[in-house]
Structure 1
């Protein structure tokens, strides 16, 4: 009886420690494919690659990262939904494709609440208000005053329409008392590159894709959209300490699966990601790029996504934000 219980326990591990049993060989994929809905170099890509490297070591199988940008994350989402729900293909969910798109697109090719199930959070990063060097605004107050004085609105880059860098930027600008002209890009990396080229005035960007440029002085950091200053930019205040209460926003990234994916695969990948996030080396690497680990169960990640929907979807509708 004890031997049978032991074997059943091993079988329940799915992707985990079952390599030596026949059932493990049948359910264990040769590799895990993660589709990232944004280009290489941005926050989603950096966080995914760091976490996947460690989680791959935990599981003992390779992770294949595919950057499939476009349509505010919906192209990659559709690709995952076309794949077999066999525990080999997963989607890197984020604010826009899992939450905001529903509020700004009249029609979507999928329902994120029904067609996907949560697997594991990976990391989140507060947004940083940055400007191009030659804009001439050295503080949030100076930026708002300049924006109100000039006849044309400031141009605001974003990682795509509906991205948190879009919606939070629109919201923050409205609270700071000025208007912006939204300029969407296919990811944060090209948006920041355009800003450094003098083509975009401001951006509310996730730290991993702008931190190094801000530290190097290639763009000007003005404020963090969080409750505390970021250790690698200690001189940059939060919007809250400047008197703008409640102006918090973070880009977040986690793994979701197509509905119907075996629970054993979901549980095993969740365990691998959480084991990876508990490693001090990974936590330090995430902090160094401007991100915070997001450990927890699949259920907790699902609850987090539901809370994000309650916060951002009504706000998008109130602001009248639509896909450009």
Structure 2
């Protein structure tokens, strides 16, 4: 019996390898415009992933409809390993709860391939803000005559949900100002029009290094290797604010398990190469390869976690 199971497994792997061998090009579809952090991660990954797979890997941008256009592009593709979807936690775990009607279903339309990077949220303020830590920021907010203003990259975004976690954890009053994306929110924080902002480390680290933004604390369970001097909010006596805007790869449903495994192994090898690892870490994205099963578990956990908060706060999509 064991011998029979071994032979079936070997045949499955061989068929999967054959399918991938026939794939001349693999494309990674990004649900965001060129130039953003997800696009950057996809492009630096594609170069090394192509070397691991032995064929060309390209990146295509299909922005729009809060990630739905990119999702549908891959969901409708041939399930042979030639099309992959790289997405942030928002389109994968938050949209299914935030929107009453969604044109894709993560369980029905996709299979997990691998987690790619972790991106925790960093609380930043204008350099002239009197607070030097998140604890001081909260203390000042509690004594302010008016609610402080905090920007986000949109209703239901990870930065918005981090604000909601902060208000629950501390009881401070906040006026939430949603923007259409992180870039205009960051611009207004640097201009002094908004008091604070939670954002992905990759989108903020260059501004922190240049002194245009002051980092106050990390909304994560541990410190960030690219910002070792910045304490977590929990370290500052502010537990309960814990975010991770991870990016991950998914393939169309019905992609053969052997093909998924081959892709997974290639991604894991790519992320462990020193050049790619260091390049990602330098921009604040922590390489975090996983098994497909680990990604599936994370997707479920975060869908439940953020769904509970969205329902409790009665957050509705724009």
What interval of TM-score do these two structures reach, taking the shorter chain for normalisation? 0.7 to 0.9
Q: More displaced, 61-70 or 314-323?
A: 61-70
Q: Retained in 1: the 8 A contact 2:202–2:284?
A: yes
Runs of 5+ in structure 2 lacking a partner? 1-6
Question: Which of 283, 286, 301 does residue 289 from structure 1 map onto?
Answer: 283
Please say if 1:239 is aligned against 2:233: yes
Q: Which runs of 4+ in 1 moved over 6 A?
A: 4-8
Q: Retained in 1: the 8 A contact 2:135–2:237?
A: no
Equivalent residue, structure 2, for 1:144: 138
Question: Which of 93, 99, 108 does residue 105 from structure 1 map onto?
Answer: 99
Q: More displaced, 204-213 or 49-58?
A: 49-58
Equivalent residue, structure 2, for 1:255: 249
In 2: Cα distance, 1:150 partner to 1:66 partner: 49
Please say if 1:305 is aligned against 2:299: yes
Please say if 1:117 is aligned against 2:108: no
Q: More displaced, 187-196 or 125-134?
A: 187-196
> Structure 1 residues 52 and 190 mapped into 2: Cα distance closer, same or farther (>3 Å)?
farther
Q: Retained in 2: the 8 A contact 1:85–1:261?
A: yes
Please say if 1:322 is aligned against 2:293: no
Q: Deviations over 1:43-97 (max 9, x none)?
A: 3222222222211111122222223333332232123234333432221132111
Q: Retained in 2: the 8 A contact 1:128–1:225?
A: yes
Equivalent residue, structure 2, for 1:157: 152
> Structure 1 residues 201 and 37 mapped into 2: Cα distance closer, same or farther (>3 Å)?
farther
> Structure 1 residues 117 and 186 mapped into 2: Cα distance closer, same or farther (>3 Å)?
farther
TM superposition shift of 1:185: 4.1
- Secondary structure at the counterpart of residue 96 of structure 2: helix
Please say if 1:168 is aligned against 2:172: no
In 2: Cα distance, 1:191 partner to 1:213 partner: 13
- Please tell me the root mean square deviation across aligned C-alpha atoms, in Å: 2.6
TM superposition shift of 1:292: 1.8
In the alignment of these two chains, the number of paired residues is: 310
> Structure 1 residues 8 and 152 mapped into 2: Cα distance closer, same or farther (>3 Å)?
closer
Question: Which of 17, 37, 59 does residue 13 from structure 1 map onto?
Answer: 17
> Structure 1 residues 257 and 183 mapped into 2: Cα distance closer, same or farther (>3 Å)?
farther
TM superposition shift of 1:264: 3.7
- Secondary structure at the counterpart of residue 317 of structure 2: coil
Q: Retained in 1: the 8 A contact 2:133–2:216?
A: yes
Q: Deviations over 1:175-226 (max 9, x none)?
A: 2322434444454344323433444432211111111111211111110112
> Structure 1 residues 69 and 167 mapped into 2: Cα distance closer, same or farther (>3 Å)?
farther
Q: Retained in 1: the 8 A contact 2:166–2:240?
A: no
In 2: Cα distance, 1:150 partner to 1:62 partner: 58
In 1: Cα distance, 2:177 partner to 2:68 partner: 19
TM superposition shift of 1:239: 0.2
In 2: Cα distance, 1:251 partner to 1:8 partner: 34
Please give the TM-score of this superposition, normalised by the length of structure 1: 0.85
> Structure 1 residues 247 and 7 mapped into 2: Cα distance closer, same or farther (>3 Å)?
closer
In 1: Cα distance, 2:12 partner to 2:313 partner: 53
